[in-house]
Amino acid sequence: MEDLFCLDDYLSDEEKLVRDSVRRFIDSEIMPIIADCYEKAHFPRELIQKMANLGLFGMTLPESYGGANASSVAYGLACQELERGDSGLRSFVSVQSSLCMYPIFAYGTQQQKMRFLPQMAQGELIGCFGLTEPDSGSDPASMKTRAKKANGGWRLTGAKMWITNATIADLAIVWAKDEQGNVKGFIVERDFPGFSTNEIHHKLSLRASITGEIVLEDCFVPDENYLPGTEKGLACALGCLTKARYGIAWGAMGAAMACYDIALNYAKERTQFGKAIGAFQLIQTDLVDMFTEIVKAQALNLQLGRLHEQERSNYVMVSLAKMNACKEALHIARKARNILGANGISLEYHIIRHMANLESVFTYEGTDNMHHLIVGKHITGLDAFS
């Protein structure tokens, strides 16, 4: 779409290169297959290595750990382009990078970093993030998964639900409460006895993404797989979510941009009553509203990225950006689908796929209600959570 406010002027050459490289990957590798993947509920695992070769996993981490030392804005642009393809694809990269590699980098030992991160960056090890439980979503402090100290390690018991990558992951970052009620993080490897996963079927959203359940049945995790930096408790898990939410703010706008571009092109080509439907006032109003919200969110995301690079961002800013992007992206997808009429529900035109995916993106990594309360607490000083 048109860069009306010249936001490209505020991007470095490297950031533009990242964006354009991911866009070419999406156009050449994803768009020809994504409708079939969505319809068949298939995640294109064959593309994991190609994504690794693009440097998409842990791209903001230091090169010594397999990352590219890329800027936060470069990562955001990558998420934007990935979700222009499909939310499931961006979710895969977000989980691998923000929810799995980041906690190992931030809370792990040097030995853990060197053991896991380079292989994860190369796509040789896939991770998943185990926080949400069947009865614990927006209130993670109420988790029931327990970690009991044992000789040489810990024994974990519990279950995690709605876990992206669960059934293909080689390891899981699992959060559990110890006997004193303190939340701790663990690197749980697939071959540990007592660890199992089950795939969730019959989804009507994020169909080109793998979602599952983690079951921990007296699963023994050795001390060397405990993340010592998580002694701070639940705040560490929430810190990972803040990283992921940042990428979602960019990604949701990628889906919105795809819907807008499709609707704009359709409106200029589709004729009714003797002229292109884009010539009608109501259609133009919808297109202008869509365009306006995308530009506003792009500017907000760019500023958030720069503040993050300066270590001036915080979780309230990220909540506001994620909340805004997801809400507006969903509205844009619905408007775009309406412009296409009956064609709007066809996978051939992609909008209905984005719209269904955005229903999940609107909810996961913190629901719209929770983000409103986070920002509300900040601006009023009053806690509405309790």
Q: Is residue 42 classed as helix, strand or coil in its secondary structure?
A: coil
What is the C-alpha to C-alpha distance for residues 187 and 216, in angstroms, rounded to an integer? 13
- Residue 273 backbone class (left: φ over 0; alpha: ψ -120 to 50; beta: rest): left
What is the C-alpha to C-alpha distance for residues 338 and 353, in angstroms, rounded to an integer? 14
Beta bridge partners of 211: 164
pTM for this model (two decimals):
0.96
Q: In a structure prediction context, what are the per-residue pLDDT tens digits for the chain, which is 386 residues long? A: 999 999 999 999 999 999 999 999 999 999 999 999 999 999 999 999 999 999 999 999 999 999 999 999 999 999 999 999 999 999 999 999 999 999 999 999 999 999 999 999 999 999 999 999 999 989 999 999 999 999 999 999 999 999 999 999 999 999 999 999 999 999 999 999 999 999 999 999 999 999 999 999 999 999 999 999 999 999 999 999 999 999 999 999 999 999 999 999 999 999 999 999 999 999 999 999 999 999 999 999 999 999 999 999 999 999 999 999 999 999 999 999 999 999 999 999 999 999 999 999 999 999 999 999 999 999 999 999 87
pLDDT of residue 356: 98
What is the C-alpha to C-alpha distance for residues 291 and 304, in angstroms, rounded to an integer? 20
- Answer whether 29's CB lies under 8 Å from 81's CB: no
- Answer whether 28's CB lies under 8 Å from 49's CB: no
Q: What is the residue type of 35?
A: A
Q: Is residue 133 classed as helix, strand or coil in its secondary structure?
A: strand
What is the C-alpha to C-alpha distance for residues 383 and 367, in angstroms, rounded to an integer? 17
Beta bridge partners of 158: 216
- The fold for domain 7-121 equals Butyryl-Coa Dehydrogenase, subunit A; domain 1 (1.10.540)
- The fold for domain 235-380 equals Butyryl-CoA Dehydrogenase, subunit A; domain 3 (1.20.140)
Lookup result for tokens 């405990």 = 226
- The fold for domain 127-232 equals Butyryl-CoA Dehydrogenase, subunit A; domain 2 (2.40.110)
- Answer whether 322's CB lies under 8 Å from 249's CB: yes
Q: Is residue 129 classed as helix, strand or coil in its secondary structure?
A: strand
- Going by their DSSP bridges, the two strands 271-272 and 275-276 should be labelled as antiparallel
Q: Where do the DSSP E strands lie in the chain?
A: 127-130, 146-150, 153-164, 171-177, 183-189, 195-199, 211-222, 226-227, 271-272, 275-276
* b/e per residue 213-238 (b: at least 16 CB within 10 A): bbbbeebbbeeebbbebbeebbebbb
pLDDT of residue 386: 72
Q: Is residue 313 classed as helix, strand or coil in its secondary structure?
A: coil
pLDDT of residue 256: 98
Q: Would you kindly state where each structural domain of the chain is located, as residue ranges? A: 7-121, 127-232, 235-380
pLDDT of residue 41: 97
What is the C-alpha to C-alpha distance for residues 213 and 162, in angstroms, rounded to an integer? 6
What is the radius of gyration, based on Cα positions, of the chain?
21
235-380: same fold as 7-121? no
User: Taking Cα atoms as reference points, which of 84, 83, 117, 96 lies closest to residue 45?
Assistant: 96
Q: What is the residue type of 329?
A: A
Q: At what angle do helices 351-361 and 234-269 cross, to 10 degrees?
A: 160
Residues catalogued as catalytic: 365
- Answer whether 188's CB lies under 8 Å from 174's CB: yes
Tokens of 369: 């209600």
End-to-end CA distance of the chain: 43
